[in-house]
Amino acid sequence: MHPVLPFTIAALLFGIGVYGVIVRRNAVLLLMAVELLLNAVNLVLVTADATIRSVVPHSGQSFALFVIVLAAAEIGVGLALILQLYRLRRSVDVEELPLTEPPADPAPASAPEPDREVAR
């Protein structure tokens, strides 16, 4: 197998994923772009494992399986967060997310207390 084609496809997938992460505002599409990034990494790992002889056999495939498991967990948690965001805000636009807490309202000014002398 000639490794140029899979590496080129992986580079294209990674580029599309980076573009999606930078440009997209919809949280679901953002997760899809992250999945493209992870799939590009998996393609590189499997291609490198098939073309390069390493000390540990099938190490690229093992890492790819690990990345697939992490991607499944990431999608589960990410979709749960997006669903909760939609329930609260009725939108999944990441531009509308508050990244910081709004400043707390200062306590209402009350009348100063008179000085009391302490009996000794």
State pLDDT tens for residues 57-101: 777 888 888 888 988 898 899 889 888 888 887 877 877 776 676
Is 107 within a domain?
no
Alpha carbon distance 62, 75 (integer Å): 20
Our count of domains for the chain comes to: 1
Is 111 within a domain?
no
Alpha carbon distance 31, 85 (integer Å): 14
Residues spanned by the domain of 38: 4-94
Is 18 within a domain?
yes
The confidence score (pLDDT) of residue 117 equals 66
List pLDDT tens digits, range 32-54.
Answer: 999 999 999 999 888 888 888 76
Is 67 within a domain?
yes
Q: Is the pLDDT of residue 115 over 70?
A: no
Is 72 within a domain?
yes
Alpha carbon distance 21, 115 (integer Å): 60
Alpha carbon distance 8, 47 (integer Å): 11
Q: What is the CATH number of the domain that holds 39?
A: 1.10.287.3510
Is 71 within a domain?
yes
Is 101 within a domain?
no
Mean pLDDT of 7-27: 91
